[in-house]
Amino acid sequence: MQYRELKITGAWEITPKQFGDDRGVFLEWFKQATFTDSTGRELDLAQANCSVSAAGVLRGIHYADVPPGQAKYVTCASGSVLDVVVDLRVGSPTFGQWDSVLLDTVDRRAIFLSEGLGHGFLALEDHSTVMYLCSTGYDPEREHEVHPLDPEIGIEWPTVGRDGSRLEYELSAKDRAAPTLAEARDAELLPHL
């Protein structure tokens, strides 16, 4: 596996080595030993999630209260998504900045996000299946969101899907009602370094 730290401290892109033949492909999409060697930490596993989305579905930007926060190791088992990490940690030198990784069935990359970072993704084709390993379980009292289309963050979400069709963003009611980064900061909802 190859690890590349993103411009947001605490986030990595992971590219697995694939072994293919006429029967198909095999790869390790997570391995604790190489993960720890590359990131300097362990990933405690408390929950595994699966999300299936139609093209244009935009999920996030989600994060959990710190402590304990929720670290995520994310991959796309089917289809393709643009996966985005946003630094929501007040006091961080990259606060409000974002980076992204294309997760698909070609390179079969994964992304790791440390506690305190925001996470979201846009499905680029129908039936895009995203799998997450989470360090803590879901707790609705600790979960928050920031609006994924906030111009202050300025995420460059694709407007065209993998098949060349125009994407119409579809957000949940919760994500449509999410505060902007400034509103979340002013309400003291964001994690601090």
Any catalytic annotation for residue 62? yes
Write down the catalytic residue from 62, 119, 144, 147: 62
Segment 7-23 shows an average pLDDT of: 97
Cβ pair 175, 58 in contact under 8 A? yes
For tokens 């030198």, the residue is 93
Q: Phi and psi (nearest 5°) for 174? A: -60, -45
Show the CA angle centred on residue 144, arms to residues 138 and 147, nearest 5°.
135
Cβ pair 136, 69 in contact under 8 A? yes
Contacts of 74 (CB under 8 A, 6+ apart): 83, 103, 110, 111, 112, 113, 119, 121, 130, 131, 132, 133
The topology (CATH level 3) of 2-186 is Jelly Rolls (2.60.120)
How far is it, in rounded angstroms, from Cα 27 to Cα 7? 26
Task: Provide the pLDDT confidence category of residue 48 given band limits of 50, 70 and 90.
Answer: very high
Cis peptide, bond prior to residue 16, ω within 30 of zero: no
Cβ pair 55, 167 in contact under 8 A? yes
Q: Where are the domains of the chain?
A: 2-186
The two tokens of residue 5 are 């730290």
Segment 112-138 shows an average pLDDT of: 98
| 135-159 pLDDT, tens digit each | 999 999 999 999 999 999 999 999 9
Q: What are the C-alpha distances in Å from 105 to residues 30, 75, 81?
A: 15, 9, 10
Write down the catalytic residue from 63, 132, 144, 147: 132
Any catalytic annotation for residue 169? no
| 59-116 pLDDT, tens digit each | 999 999 999 999 999 999 999 999 999 999 999 999 999 999 999 999 999 999 999 9
Predicted model pTM:
0.96
The two tokens of residue 91 are 């006091």
Task: Provide the pLDDT confidence category of residue 193 given band limits of 50, 70 and 90.
Answer: confident
Segment 110-127 shows an average pLDDT of: 98
Compute the mean pLDDT over every residue in the chain, rounded to the nearest whole number. 97
Question: What's the pLDDT score for residue 47?
Answer: 98
How far is it, in rounded angstroms, from Cα 107 to Cα 57? 22
